[in-house]
Structure 1
Amino acid sequence: MNKLGFIFVLLAFFLAGFFISKKNGQKINGDIEIDEILRATNSASFKITVASYIFDDLEFFINDKSVKKIRVEPSDFITELSGLKLGKNEVYILAKDSKTGSKMKSEEEYITYETTKPKLIISSPKDKETVYGDTVEIKGKTDPDSFVLINDQPVDYYKDGNFGTELKLDYGENKIKIFSQDLAGNHIRKTLTIIYMYTTLL
């Protein structure tokens, strides 16, 4: 056998070893992954993106409870699961190759189920307050990891939930819309009325 033929033989053995699954708890040359999952949701049902290579029998678990069994062609796909409990939930997949009996467990992923609206406290200004300048600073606090919009525009906020921004006012009555939403999609809205009046010089 010449050198080139020997290299082809080695390559053939390598490829065969890569694609053949092994049983009895040994390493399996397939893979099962949860590619995409929400960090948080306000629904007991949610969708995940799965990548399955070689394995075609899949069983999905939430908090160690089986919630779904499906047979698929090995591929990337999206499926919906339900059965979350309030708070943090563990999700994983047990996968099996129906031809060889090889099995594999995916890495655990975590999703938080939350249905409570975030708090939204406006510290200044007060509702229906009259001001005598053409700008006003809005300050408040919401839940950590929530984002805030004021008049539909994002504002600076900190990890502890404090936020603030300065707004330009029109003369007379100004309606200021404040919106906060957490990672799960729960949201709250408030509207402030601020009255801008000119300073009267005596």
Structure 2
Amino acid sequence: MLTDHQEWSSPSLPLPWNPAAWYQLAAAGGWQAVVADTAYSMAQDIVTARCEGSVGLTAAWCALPFSVPVLCATATGPGIQALQTAVKAAAAEGLPLQRMVVALVATSAGRLPAPVRAAATMLQSRVSAVVSVPYEQRIRTYGLTDADRLKSGAVDAGFDLAHAVLASAVSVWGEPLPPAPAPAVAIPSPARHASEEVPA
């Protein structure tokens, strides 16, 4: 995971828009895996790109080598409706639903509402996996500054989510995963000194 090590309450850093820039950064650093956290309306992005005849941000992320999209939604009625709309839009555009993992994040303690559980069951056959993330007040208040004090349910959900992403990648590209193609990095040639000039 690439992180800026800022305080949890700090504003976000300005980040590159183009997903390929993140892939370049990952390849240059020799990372085995990179988690890019984005916050935008996927359905709106897909519809806007279709209307403009352009490649949307969602499609650009999905087109990266060995990418596994993770769709996050609150485990509420409105959250599920937004998720279902996004899944329908992605299916209409031919985006790789079979690679996608869904994370349903609870907004309060207790069992998920019945409509959320029903929707999660229906989504199971359309995406690679659906993972429930329990409510964890400590993350909302302090972020991951005291990760060792998280409840076991939140930690288990993190493992489940990571396992689901890896399982999705393996099911598509095999095991072991092939190395991702390293993009070429332009390195400027060093300037020559006058004494090093080759005579004409």
Per the normalisation by structure 1, the TM-score is 0.19
The answer to which structure has the higher strand fraction is 1
Per the normalisation by structure 2, the TM-score is 0.19
Determine which structure has more spread, i.e. the larger CA radius of gyration.
Answer: 1
